[in-house]
Amino acid sequence: MKKVNLFVLITLLTTVSCVSQEKYDELLTRVKVLENQNIYKSEIVFNFVYSCVNEGGTVENCSCMMDGLMKKMSQSEYIKEETKLELTGEFSDNFIDIMSEVRSDCL
């Protein structure tokens, strides 16, 4: 677990150039909270929230969406969707439905 925390910290420190210090602090705090729930690996949570924030979302909204995804799908289901996106450039219809519902819940 210490190796994972160190990896997350190093990743955070080397990739936050596009995120303000305030957003970075919020993101780091949120990742630690989610990591302590032991639902998804911290790298997955960080990558989702960080990407969402870089696309213009707020830490609060992006974290809410990640919380919603964790409630609706297992980590392995999420990884399958991520892999599908990398290989085909598309998500499944089921994932799109889940994501739409989660986004609505977080607005």
Q: What pLDDT is stored for residue 31 in this prediction? A: 66
Rg (the chain; Cα; Å): 14
- In the numeric block, the tokens 């949120």 are attached to 30
Q: Name the amino acid, one letter, at 107.
A: L
Of the candidates 27, 30, 4, 3, the one whose C-alpha atom is nearest the C-alpha of residue 15 is: 27
Alpha helices in 37-92 (DSSP H): 42-54, 59-72, 75-88
pLDDT in tens, 3-62: 544 455 455 444 545 557 777 777 777 666 655 555 788 899 999 999 999 999 999 999
Chain Cα centroid distance, residue 72: 14
For the chain, domain boundaries: 2-106
Residues 6+ apart with CB under 8 A from 75: 39, 40, 41, 44
Token pair, residue 102, equals 């989660």
